[in-house]
């Protein structure tokens, strides 16, 4: 059995990763498209066998309610549009996969979760690294105690923002992006660190630095570093940037180290283990990194068919948006910020 999936937004990630992964998936089939560009939508529809009647635009989007071939709606729009289209999809009676970051504000995240509950439909945030074989292997090794007690995570996820590419144009605009490198790419370091530690931080402090004369950073941040403290006593250092290139997550345990480098690429991720018994070795991982894309799609299809809560639910997306907002507040105030159990700031 395959569920019908509708993709909203035919940009770079949707066309190059999401739609091909739906086409490869054993649990999903592409049954509808939503786009503002009718010519592009018609081309994509023809290529993937989507009927013309199942092509929607942003005005008639709500008519997806009448299409029984749509079970799940996958939101691949700029961040500032995630909340509106997620809520409209729930009101149309569909399940939703929403890209990261979940939304621009904690309030929007709360509204999305409430809409999911009202509709009694699943909400999953597309944190693909949770379905990436090297990341899954590293978590398994950590849980098996192969690194001893993991007490620190050092995580840096960065990429160069390139305004000559259309997909990066909206990322410099606060209304559409919600923030800078941390919302876009640093969120992988944050989400990964919490995934490996299995706990939510109690406090954080962050710093931001922007090159003064760079047009890219008038509205959103370039570099951010943050320190996070945890109930277990663990410490995390995060780094994010739009002018540097790095993608690594390091788990430091009392009996060794696990290093994902690259950690969250689309392909070619690598896991290295260092320890007294093994020296340094590359950990063999049988499945390719690209399995992450079908992995997350299959996970939500199964969550719908078997009625379970997805591993990366709305509460996780809210937590991460809350933590990023706390980082921005900390950098602004030049002070530590205390956190609620859900990841939001404890004080004003
Ligand atoms: P993109 O610019 O290539 O795609 C966005 C699409 O939204 C475009 O087709 C654009 O035309 C459309 N759009 C509709 N209304 C718009 C409006 N008002 N303003 C601007 N564009 C509008 O961007 P992308 O890189 O594909 O990113 C889309 C989403 O996917 C983002 O939320 C991003 O964070 C996420 N993403 C996730 C990953 C991942 O690995 N999980 C990778 C890339 C992007």
Cβ atoms within 10 Å, residue 181: 29
User: Is 266 a pocket residue for ligand 1 (Cβ < 6 Å)?
Assistant: no
Query: Which residue's CA is the closest to the ligand 1 atom numbered 38?
Result: 13
Cα–Cα dist 129/127, whole Å: 6
Ligand 1 centroid, distance to 225 Cα (angstroms): 25
3-state helix, strand, coil in the chain (%, to 5): 40, 25, 35
Q: Which of 77, 112, 175, 265 to mutate to test the pocket of ligand 1 (most atoms within 8 A of CB)?
A: 77
Complex ipTM: 0.99
In this structure, the strands spanning 95-98 and 123-125 are parallel
Q: Which of 16, 18, 21, 78 to mutate to test the pocket of ligand 1 (most atoms within 8 A of CB)?
A: 78
Ligand 1 centroid, distance to 220 Cα (angstroms): 17
User: Is 34 a pocket residue for ligand 1 (Cβ < 6 Å)?
Assistant: no
3-state class (DSSP) for residue 52 = helix
Q: State the DSSP H helix or E strand holding residue 46, giving kind and residue range, or none if neither.
A: helix 38-48
Q: For residue 280, what pLDDT is reported? A: 97
Q: For residue 1, what pLDDT is reported? A: 86
Ligand 1 centroid, distance to 28 Cα (angstroms): 21
Cβ contacts of residue 148 below 8 Å, gap of 6+?
A: 253, 254, 255, 256
Q: What amino acid positions are annotated as catalytic residues?
A: 100, 188
> Domains plus CATH for the chain?
3-126 (3.40.50.720), 130-285+321-338 (3.30.360.10)
Closest atom of ligand 1 to CA, residue 127: 41
Query: Which residue's CA is the closest to the ligand 1 atom numbered 40?
Result: 128
Cα–Cα dist 99/324, whole Å: 16
Backbone phi and psi for residue 75, each to the nearest 5 degrees, phi listed first: -90, 115
Give pLDDT < 50 ranges for the chain. none
User: Is 13 a pocket residue for ligand 1 (Cβ < 6 Å)?
Assistant: yes
Compute the CA torsion angle 139, 145, 149, 153 (nearest 10 deg).
Answer: -20
Closest atom of ligand 1 to CA, residue 14: 26
User: Is 185 a pocket residue for ligand 1 (Cβ < 6 Å)?
Assistant: no
Ligand 1 centroid, distance to 13 Cα (angstroms): 7
């Amino acid at each position: 059995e395959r569920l019908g999936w509708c993709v909203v937004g035919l940009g770079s990630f949707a066309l190059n990763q999401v739609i091909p992964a739906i086409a490869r998936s054993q649990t999903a089939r592409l049954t509808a498209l939503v786009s503002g560009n009718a010519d592009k939508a018609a081309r994509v529809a023809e290529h993937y066998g989507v009927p013309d009647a199942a092509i929607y635009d942003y005005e008639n989007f709500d008519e997806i309610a009448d299409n029984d071939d749509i079970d799940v709606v996958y939101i691949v729009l700029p961040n500032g549009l995630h909340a509106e289209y997620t809520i409209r999809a729930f009101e149309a009676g569909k399940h939703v996969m929403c890209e990261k970051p979940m939304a621009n504000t904690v309030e929007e995240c709360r509204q999305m979760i409430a809409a999911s509950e009202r509709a009694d439909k699943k909400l999953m945030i597309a944190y693909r690294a949770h379905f990436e074989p090297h990341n899954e292997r590293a978590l398994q090794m950590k849980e098996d105690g192969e690194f001893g007690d993991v007490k620190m995570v050092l995580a840096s996820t960065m990429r160069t923002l390139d305004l000559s590419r259309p997909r990066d144009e909206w990322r410099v605009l606060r209304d559409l992006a919600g923030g800078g490198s941390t919302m876009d790419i640093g969120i992988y370091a944050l989400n990964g660190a919490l995934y490996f530690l299995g706990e939510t931080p109690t406090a954080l402090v962050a710093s931001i630095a922007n090159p003064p004369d760079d047009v890219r950073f008038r509205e959103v941040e370039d570099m951010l570093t943050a320190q996070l403290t945890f109930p277990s006593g663990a410490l995390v250092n995060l780094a994010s940037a739009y002018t540097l290139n790095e993608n690594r997550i390091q788990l430091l345990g009392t009996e060794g180290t696990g290093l994902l480098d690259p950690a969250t690429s689309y392909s070619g991720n690598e896991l290295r283990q260092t320890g007294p018994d093994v020296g340094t070795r590359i950990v063999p991982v049988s499945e390719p990194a690209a399995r992450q894309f079908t992995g997350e799609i299959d996970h939500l299809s199964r969550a719908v068919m078997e009625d379970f809560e997805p591993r990366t639910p709305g509460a996780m997306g809210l937590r991460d948006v809350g933590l990023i907002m706390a980082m921005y507040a900390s950098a602004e105030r030049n002070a530590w910020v205390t956190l609620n159990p859900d990841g939001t700031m404890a004080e004003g």
